[in-house]
């Protein structure tokens, strides 16, 4: 009975003091790193292989890897593994860089790992079965540790591992469109994480969790501030704040980048010009870059948005983008810095189809950029629409390092409340064949193949992260952050695999299958209820919240939705073939042939490239008008279907997150209906045709929809 009493006392003490005082509901803060307890059957297969973590200390990334492994295993296996720096026991996990004495006698393929790759291998060393996690750098070890954790999180066997992996792109970078005021342009997840006023003294513990999450998916770089840049970030006061963040991120293998306002030499440098060919300007940038590296030794480099939407740039001085980019790249080169130069440009007084302008401007510059310049090209030529064909620059600049820019934040896909998994969209773009120089050169291959030995590669994602408790504004938008990291690591990855991993880690393996089904269909639903059949850019003005297909009064033609859909009594769509703007001509001949022909263009791009009569007969057998209405209703119906699928998960996932998703789906459904009703009402006023049978008329007249204003919509520019 003595033992009984002792044990009861222990249990009682644990219940009363060891346990948390309050029930901490899951709220999404832990992202895909929940490390939830394993079921006992699987746990029994794991525990013998994670008895101990052995790592020589001193390398910050290896230390971070060991800490993270300990954290994850404690959560999943239920006890903290032993820690050691030498002398592995049976079942140890060895974390080691090449040359470590821990690996003596084991041949590992370090030559295949590059700087950041890793091997995870089951082995026997000195008679002990161990699991090796090794790389050429601490960063590789860190990624390997996250891989081992993922294997366990997704319930894979770990007894006989032999995994070799390495990232296919060098710069895997988030672009935060965060202002120094902490507002976020196109942000739907609260304020900027960066609390500038309290930096550098106070480093919010959340900065570390941000870095952990990024490291777990291979992101190795972050641009802290908005591409619509404020030069103040380059002043010493702010650079010391930036350095404090860089210090937090360093053990997690993340380098800090900043956007540079092209006119900074004037605004904070006291010069009269920012002309890139003026020696004083080049000298200013060189001195500024040297100053930055003095404060942040592993600073990554700059991003510049130049001569675009009102930003200053080299064109202001009749210099080319290459002249501007190279001047700044030369300042960065001695430090190993990278210059990311955005190709998202369209001119204020240019009547040319906006679709064509970036190509027109940049294609002639092919081969003229320094090797440490990455020209950052959006996935499509317009602007992050629910669907666009891939940007014609991909494949068209074979001598220029091009990097992909995806938008993780859903500026055009329903903000935070619409469930829209972007993995399928990104896979569609990355797997698109550019046919340049020949069949098979997909966009993925274009960006992952360095243009020469020293050239950079990369992928940028416009972040959807803010200080909301769940980071991304919704539970499901976490999946887009996650997927971006996975595609940046491997542009050949598949959206469904990524969704499966994310769902299993974030919601639990038991709930993953129906969640993956929801995710895989979700983006097409948005396309259908917002911009079906190749329509695009029909959103309301400025904030892009809700439908505005009727808008025609903005100062510049290409700001108006009517510019994009061109609906009239005869039909709808933008003729971008040779009879129209010939933007299509910027693509390879095979695509010109396929997309230029009404018989072979896919429905999904029909109105992107063609002005099509309302009575045009579609593959479905319906007229274009009937098909359009049908697609709108299909989109709404797909949201209804998701609501049903989610209802089926009640009780199978935690209640707080479940309820949030349920409520967000309800918002999405209402807004999908709003999109459908407003769009149908508007297009019907032009097509002047009856709705197809079985499709309900919009409940209000067109003026009612036009009168809806949302002046306080989130995410607006400063």
Which of these, 80, 44, 27, lies nearest to 155 by C-alpha position? 44
| φ, ψ (nearest 5 deg) of residue 175 | -105, 110
Using rule CB under 8 A, residue 196 touches a copy of itself = yes
Q: Select 191 or 554, whichever has its Cβ closest to a copy of itself.
A: 191
Using rule CB under 8 A, residue 694 touches a copy of itself = no
User: Where do the DSSP E strands lie in 196-296?
Assistant: 221-223, 255-259
DSSP H helix total and E strand total for the chain: 21, 16
Compute the least distance from the CB of residue 342 to a copy of itself, in Å: 23
Compute the least distance from the CB of residue 215 to a copy of itself, in Å: 17
Distance CA 137, CA 255 (A): 15
- Residue 309 annotated as catalytic: yes
Compute the least distance from the CB of residue 642 to a copy of itself, in Å: 15
Which of these, 368, 237, 244, 371, lies nearest to 301 by C-alpha position? 371
Confirm if 583 and 538 have CB atoms less than 8 A apart. no
With tokens 């500024």, the residue in question is: 288
Using rule CB under 8 A, residue 664 touches a copy of itself = yes
CA dihedral (574, 577, 583, 588) in degrees, to 10, reads 140
Using rule CB under 8 A, residue 35 touches a copy of itself = yes
33 CA to centre of own chain? 18
Structural tokens at position 422: 């972007």
Among 138, 190, 380, 548, binds a copy of itself (CB under 8 A): 190
Residues between 393 and 452 that touch a copy of itself (CB under 8 A): 415, 417
Using rule CB under 8 A, residue 181 touches a copy of itself = yes
Using rule CB under 8 A, residue 19 touches a copy of itself = yes
* Binding string, residues 535-574; x marks residues near a copy of itself by CB under 8 A: ----------x-----------------------------
Using rule CB under 8 A, residue 25 touches a copy of itself = yes
Q: Select 59 or 179, whichever has its Cβ closest to a copy of itself.
A: 179
In terms of C-beta distances under 8 Å and separation of at least 24 residues, what long-range contacts does 434-440 make, across chains too? 434/390, 434/394, 434/395, 434/396, 434/587, 434/588, 435/395, 435/587, 435/588, 435/589, 435/590, 435/591, 436/395, 436/396, 436/398, 436/588, 437/395, 437/398, 439/590
Distance CA 574, CA 353 (A): 10
Q: Checking DSSP bridges between strand 128-135 and strand 118-125, what pairing results, if any?
A: antiparallel
Compute the least distance from the CB of residue 83 to a copy of itself, in Å: 16
Compute the least distance from the CB of residue 713 to a copy of itself, in Å: 7
Q: DSSP string of 344-412?
A: ----TT--S-HHHHHHHHHGGGTT-S-TTEEEEEESSSSSS-SS-PPPTTTTT-TTS-EEEEEE-S-TT
- Residue 383 annotated as catalytic: yes
Using rule CB under 8 A, residue 232 touches a copy of itself = yes
Among 290, 309, 663, 701, binds a copy of itself (CB under 8 A): 663
Q: Select 501 or 671, whichever has its Cβ closest to a copy of itself.
A: 671
Using rule CB under 8 A, residue 210 touches a copy of itself = no
Q: Residues 116, 330, 411, 524: which is the catalytic one? A: 411
Compute the least distance from the CB of residue 131 to a copy of itself, in Å: 22
Using rule CB under 8 A, residue 7 touches a copy of itself = yes
Q: Residues 68, 116, 383, 405: which is the catalytic one? A: 383
Compute the least distance from the CB of residue 79 to a copy of itself, in Å: 8
Among 205, 270, 621, 651, binds a copy of itself (CB under 8 A): 205
Residues between 292 and 351 that touch a copy of itself (CB under 8 A): none
Using rule CB under 8 A, residue 15 touches a copy of itself = yes
Using rule CB under 8 A, residue 16 touches a copy of itself = yes
Using rule CB under 8 A, residue 4 touches a copy of itself = yes
Distance CA 150, CA 142 (A): 12
Q: Select 181 or 579, whichever has its Cβ closest to a copy of itself.
A: 181
Give the Cβ contact number of residue 451 at 10 Å: 19
Among 202, 310, 351, 453, binds a copy of itself (CB under 8 A): 202
- Residue 26 annotated as catalytic: no
Residues between 618 and 657 that touch a copy of itself (CB under 8 A): 656
User: What stretch of H or E contains 239?
Assistant: helix 236-249
Q: Select 75 or 253, whichever has its Cβ closest to a copy of itself.
A: 75
CA dihedral (649, 652, 658, 659) in degrees, to 10, reads 80
Region of 11-19, 161-169, 362-370, 477-485 interacting with a copy of itself (CB under 8 A): 11-19
CA dihedral (136, 140, 141, 146) in degrees, to 10, reads -160
Using rule CB under 8 A, residue 22 touches a copy of itself = yes
Compute the least distance from the CB of residue 256 to a copy of itself, in Å: 18
Distance CA 670, CA 47 (A): 48
Region of 2-10, 418-426, 517-525, 552-560 interacting with a copy of itself (CB under 8 A): 2-10
CA dihedral (261, 264, 267, 271) in degrees, to 10, reads -150
CA dihedral (628, 633, 636, 641) in degrees, to 10, reads -130
Judged by CB under 8 A, the number of residues near a copy of itself is: 64
Region of 180-188, 347-355, 532-540, 554-562 interacting with a copy of itself (CB under 8 A): 180-188
* Binding string, residues 110-129; x marks residues near a copy of itself by CB under 8 A: --------------------
Compute the least distance from the CB of residue 73 to a copy of itself, in Å: 11
Using rule CB under 8 A, residue 182 touches a copy of itself = yes
* Binding string, residues 442-471; x marks residues near a copy of itself by CB under 8 A: -------------------------xxx--
Using rule CB under 8 A, residue 670 touches a copy of itself = yes
Among 203, 368, 594, 700, binds a copy of itself (CB under 8 A): 203
Using rule CB under 8 A, residue 3 touches a copy of itself = yes
Confirm if 508 and 36 have CB atoms less than 8 A apart. yes
Q: Distance between terminal CA atoms of the chain? A: 71
Using rule CB under 8 A, residue 30 touches a copy of itself = yes
Region of 5-13, 512-520, 533-541, 607-615 interacting with a copy of itself (CB under 8 A): 5-13
Phi-psi region at 157: left, alpha or beta (left = phi > 0; alpha = psi -120 to 50) = beta
Confirm if 88 and 94 have CB atoms less than 8 A apart. yes
Q: Residues 309, 568, 615, 663: which is the catalytic one? A: 309
All residues at 6 or more sequence positions from 589 whose CB lies less than 8 Å from its CB, including other chains = 435
User: Where do the DSSP E strands lie in 391-480?
Assistant: 402-407, 458-462
Distance CA 521, CA 411 (A): 19
User: What stretch of H or E contains 302?
Assistant: strand 301-304
Confirm if 636 and 673 have CB atoms less than 8 A apart. yes
Q: Select 131 or 230, whichever has its Cβ closest to a copy of itself.
A: 230
With tokens 């200080």, the residue in question is: 467
Q: Select 298 or 654, whichever has its Cβ closest to a copy of itself.
A: 654
Among 44, 48, 57, 78, binds a copy of itself (CB under 8 A): 78
Using rule CB under 8 A, residue 180 touches a copy of itself = yes
Q: Which residues bind a copy of itself (CB under 8 A)?
A: 3-4, 7-8, 10-12, 14-22, 24-25, 30, 34-37, 40, 43, 71, 75-76, 78-79, 179-183, 190-191, 196-198, 201-203, 205, 230, 232, 415, 417, 467-469, 545, 656, 660, 663-664, 666-667, 670, 711-714, 716
Active site residues: 309, 383, 411
């Amino acid at each position: 009975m003595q033992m009984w009493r002792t044990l009861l006392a222990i249990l009682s003490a644990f219940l009363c003091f060891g346990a948390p005082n309050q029930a901490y509901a899951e709220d999404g803060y832990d992202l895909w790193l929940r490390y939830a307890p394993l079921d006992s059957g699987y746990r029994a297969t794991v525990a013998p292989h994670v008895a101990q973590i052995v790592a020589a200390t001193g390398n910050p990334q290896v230390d971070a890897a060991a800490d993270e492994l300990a954290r994850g295993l404690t959560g999943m296996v239920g006890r903290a593994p032993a820690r050691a720096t030498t002398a592995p026991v049976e079942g140890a996990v060895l974390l080691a860089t090449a040359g470590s004495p821990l690996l003596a006698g084991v041949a590992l393929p370090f030559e295949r790992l590059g700087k950041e790759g890793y091997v995870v291998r089951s082995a026997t060393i000195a008679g002990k079965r161990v699991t090796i996690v090794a790389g050429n750098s601490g960063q590789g070890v860190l990624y390997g540790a996250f891989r081992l954790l993922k294997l366990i999180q997704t319930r894979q066997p770990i007894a006989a591992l032999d995994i070799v992996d390495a990232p296919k792109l060098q710069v895997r970078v988030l672009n935060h469109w965060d202002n120094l005021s902490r507002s976020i342009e196109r942000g739907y997840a609260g304020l900027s994480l960066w609390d500038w006023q309290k930096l550098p003294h106070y480093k919010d513990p959340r900065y570390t969790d941000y870095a952990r999450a990024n490291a777990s998916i291979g992101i190795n770089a972050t641009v802290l501030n908005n591409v619509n840049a404020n030069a103040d970030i380059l002043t010493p006061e702010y650079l010391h704040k930036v350095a404090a963040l860089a210090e937090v991120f360093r053990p997690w293998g993340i380098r800090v980048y900043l956007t540079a306002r092209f006119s900074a030499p004037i605004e904070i440098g006291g010069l009269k010009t920012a002309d890139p060919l003026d020696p004083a300007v080049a000298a200013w940038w060189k001195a500024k870059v040297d100053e930055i590296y003095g404060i942040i030794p592993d600073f990554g480099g700059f991003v510049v948005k130049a001569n675009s939407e009102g930003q200053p740039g080299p064109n202001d001085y009749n210099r080319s983008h290459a002249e501007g980019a190279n001047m700044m790249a030369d300042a960065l080169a001695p430090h190993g810095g990278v210059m990311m130069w955005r190709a998202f440009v369209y001119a204020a007084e240019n009547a040319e189809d906006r679709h064509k302008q970036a190509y027109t401007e940049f294609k002639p510059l092919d081969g003229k950029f320094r090797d440490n310049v990455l020209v950052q090209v959006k996935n499509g030529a317009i602007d992050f629409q629910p669907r666009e064909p891939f940007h014609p620059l991909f494949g068209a600049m074979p001598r220029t390092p091009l990097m992909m820019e995806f938008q993780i934040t859903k500026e055009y896909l329903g903000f935070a409340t619409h469930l829209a998994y972007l993995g399928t969209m990104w896979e569609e773009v990355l797997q698109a064949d550019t046919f340049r120089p020949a069949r098979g050169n997909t966009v993925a291959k274009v960006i992952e193949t360095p243009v020469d030995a020293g050239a950079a590669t990369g992928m940028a994602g416009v972040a959807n992260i803010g200080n909301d408790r769940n980071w991304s504004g919704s539970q499901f938008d976490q999946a887009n952050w996650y997927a971006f990291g996975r595609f940046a690591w491997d542009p050949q990855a598949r959206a469904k695999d990524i969704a499966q991993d994310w769902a299993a880690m974030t919601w639990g393996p038991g709930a993953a299958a129906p969640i993956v089904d929801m995710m895989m269909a979700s983006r097409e639903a948005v396309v259908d209820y917002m911009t079906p059949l190749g329509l695009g850019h029909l959103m309301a003005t400025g904030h892009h919240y809700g439908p505005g297909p009727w808008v025609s009064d903005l100062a510049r033609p290409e700001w108006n939705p009517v510019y994009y859909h061109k609906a009239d009594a005869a039909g709808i769509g933008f003729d971008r073939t040779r009879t129209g703007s010939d933007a299509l001509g910027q693509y390879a001949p095979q695509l010109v042939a396929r997309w230029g022909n009404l018989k072979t263009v896919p429905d999904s791009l029909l109105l992107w490239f063609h002005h099509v009569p309302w009575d045009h007969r579609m593959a479905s057998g319906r007229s274009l008008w009937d098909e359009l209405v049908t697609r709108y209703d299909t989109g709404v119906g797909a949201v209804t279907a998701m609501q049903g699928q989610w209802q089926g998960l009640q009780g199978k996932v935690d209640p707080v997150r479940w309820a949030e998703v349920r409520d967000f789906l309800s918002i999405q459904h209402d807004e999908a209906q709003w999109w459908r009703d407003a769009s149908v009402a508007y297009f019907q006023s032009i097509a002047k045709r009856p709705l197809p049978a079985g499709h309900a008329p919009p409940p209000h007249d067109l003026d009612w929809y036009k009168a809806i204003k949302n002046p306080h919509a989130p995410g607006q520019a400063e």
